[in-house]
Structure 1
């Protein structure tokens, strides 16, 4: 076990306002905020826009008094985000979903390109439920608003300029914008209740000629928690707002003569997606019929929605409220499954004392690796086999010594979690 302080001081960064929107997921919100509490950056403030259950769930967190809490209980993420922007007094406004957790150095990496005055937006990579595979990396949007893969350097930021035929995609759970740019563009369009809200903003950013930085090491872990639109395993529950949002998007960004054909293409794609869930057992035939009906009904309603009726104030409604961030040590602890319970308790004590703790529990097997943030103990836990995969493009089995494998896994997350070379010796 080795311990080293995170390199560098926390202060003198660009002031950042983090906005977290939450509805019907109070426990996910607590987990997200527990992770935010370990961020190695300053100054930043945290604005939580949540329903009463979410507000109540964070009342007993040790840093509750440092939060800006906005009570909002309507199913419209664009309005909720605009309420957060109205309270944001930072130079940059960052967004993370309530079912996500940031790596400790998330903001430090994400804000690095903000030193360039021409960079208006920043976005990072997103890891999925297993904490290893990437859910999203770099993407661009074509003229139809559809995402396409984008090749970028996997470690250093890439500053991308839009073109007449493309915009740079920011991921809704890991993105940041200069506040004055958000004010100039009117924030998020309330016509997008759910889905395509940041896509619309990306298209408007591109139209205005703003540059976006893609920052691979600015990572968050995203869980895809259940909501009214999807189950925990991502099976659709309702497609109404997806249909409505596509209708709004096409009205805003596509020539009228192209809208019908594009909608037919998207509807066919949604139908194929539903049929795949039908084949896999996630849906019944009656569910497919119901969901397509809801998709069509939403699309029809979206054709009538008021578009662009939004504005965010140029000056924040409240003063900047610095979050009590502190410089923490980043600690790697190594254990085995037979000692996991005992060492998890030790790790929890170290986290309580103010350290960022990653507990590696590796068995003498070829089990795949998983990484998760434990909100109860406020620690990162990585499990798997000494000979098993962590990165999913690795061999299924690779013979190695335990010590070498532990060093390899520490190096893999060193720059995101704050380990120095001393942890890898």
Structure 2
């Protein structure tokens, strides 16, 4: 029996991205899940124009933990999954992400994340310890990992799921974390096992926000520093906080210096960022830490989308055929359509999901898709499309 799921999407002032995320969710092959949107009033109004049976919660505060808890209170399914508004899920994502919960020992799961180009990995798998340090996990197949209060698999907020009752029992997400380390905190507080599912994949684009620009330059380090201080107070109370601040400052200073060398920020912006880090740390040390009581919501009944397996379709052509191909793709809402538009060049490939409801891959016939191997490879158009189709087939229906 397929477990029902509640997918929670938190968004703030990014209505266009939120709509694209939800359109992608309508292509999931999972037949029984609901979508809960927690967003600002404008974004809620925008997604309601889609005419989908969504559960919407109006929430306009800069606190992702509190927003996720607001969504959790509306979740009716035994498993709750989370995805960011600036991410889109492959059609097989949810089915694969929640399948491990058939094992009663599993309380959480996480998958892999592809980055801005839709091909290279932004995140794969790691563990986090009580000091907030990450340790890569060399995982290539689905695996189960036992968690402790000192070390646990780190689930990523844009690609994770939890057993609802287990998450409610620990009080959900800690609202002391307004941003950053909120999932890691849950991972160390939740007993049980976490499944790592490499083929449960989403694409994450890192859109601009109040904390970072579109080119990923940080606009403030306040919340990162505050959350780090809170995390250590929660999980490593005996830690040398002065040494921890020094380590954090060195790490962030190196990141800022790289942006400065690249010409993305000036000296004034560099100083402002370091100042925000110091101020955030002080606030994180002073912010009250409340006792997290178990949550006991009475959510409305499950409100599933009309989803399930559907056939795939491939459209391919040269760059001068682009307009015709995209018009045809937009009209194929009853299929999972992937469009290849290639040029006779060695341009690297890029994959994106379009709000009109199709996947688009662009680049040169002779260029790289996976960023390994030669940058130029002589190959025919037909063979190149066949290779790319074979590479994508494990993640979405092709035909």
Q: Separation in 2 of the partners of 1:394 and 1:120?
A: 39
1:211 equivalent to 2:193? Answer: yes
SS at match of 1:221: strand
* 2:21 aligned residue: 32
Q: Separation in 2 of the partners of 1:226 and 1:309?
A: 33
Equivalent pair of 1:190/1:309 in contact (CA under 8 Å)? no
Q: Separation in 1 of the partners of 2:235 and 2:70?
A: 25
Q: Separation in 1 of the partners of 2:372 and 2:149?
A: 35
Q: Separation in 1 of the partners of 2:173 and 2:250?
A: 28
Q: Separation in 1 of the partners of 2:303 and 2:130?
A: 40
Equivalent pair of 2:35/2:54 in contact (CA under 8 Å)? yes
Q: Separation in 2 of the partners of 1:151 and 1:314?
A: 37
Equivalent pair of 2:170/2:292 in contact (CA under 8 Å)? no
Q: Give the TM-score of the pair, scaled to structure 1.
A: 0.91
1:48 equivalent to 2:48? Answer: no
* 1:405 aligned residue: 384
1:372 equivalent to 2:352? Answer: yes
Equivalence map 1:38-117=2 (5 Å): 38-63=27-52, 66-117=53-104
Equivalent pair of 1:189/1:310 in contact (CA under 8 Å)? yes
SS at match of 1:95: strand
Q: Which runs of 5+ in 1 are unaligned?
A: 1-11
* 1:9 aligned residue: none
Q: CA deviation at 1:315?
A: 4.2
Equivalent pair of 2:88/2:202 in contact (CA under 8 Å)? yes
One of 278, 283, 286 as aligned partner of 1:304: 286
* 1:132 aligned residue: 119
- Please provide the CA RMSD for this pair: 1.4
Q: Separation in 1 of the partners of 2:50 and 2:88?
A: 16
* 1:152 aligned residue: 139
Equivalent pair of 1:358/1:382 in contact (CA under 8 Å)? yes
Equivalent pair of 2:128/2:153 in contact (CA under 8 Å)? yes
Q: CA deviation at 1:357?
A: 0.5
Equivalent pair of 2:173/2:182 in contact (CA under 8 Å)? yes
Equivalent pair of 1:101/1:373 in contact (CA under 8 Å)? yes
SS at match of 1:303: helix
Deviation by residue 1:330-354 (Cα, 9 ceiling, x = unmatched): 1111111010111110111112xx1
Q: Separation in 1 of the partners of 2:20 and 2:373?
A: 30
* 1:393 aligned residue: 372
Q: Separation in 2 of the partners of 1:20 and 1:268?
A: 34
One of 230, 235, 246 as aligned partner of 1:248: 230
* 2:170 aligned residue: 185
One of 263, 275, 280 as aligned partner of 2:245: 263
Q: Separation in 2 of the partners of 1:403 and 1:339?
A: 15
Equivalent pair of 1:113/1:157 in contact (CA under 8 Å)? no
SS at match of 1:87: coil
SS at match of 1:417: coil
Q: CA deviation at 1:163?
A: 5.2
* 1:384 aligned residue: 363
Deviation by residue 1:265-309 (Cα, 9 ceiling, x = unmatched): 111111121111111111111111111111111111111212244
Q: Separation in 2 of the partners of 1:357 and 1:61?
A: 20
Q: CA deviation at 1:174?
A: 0.3
Q: Which runs of 5+ in 2 are unaligned?
A: none
Aligned length: 399
* 1:197 aligned residue: 182
Distance 1:124 1:316, change over 3 A: farther
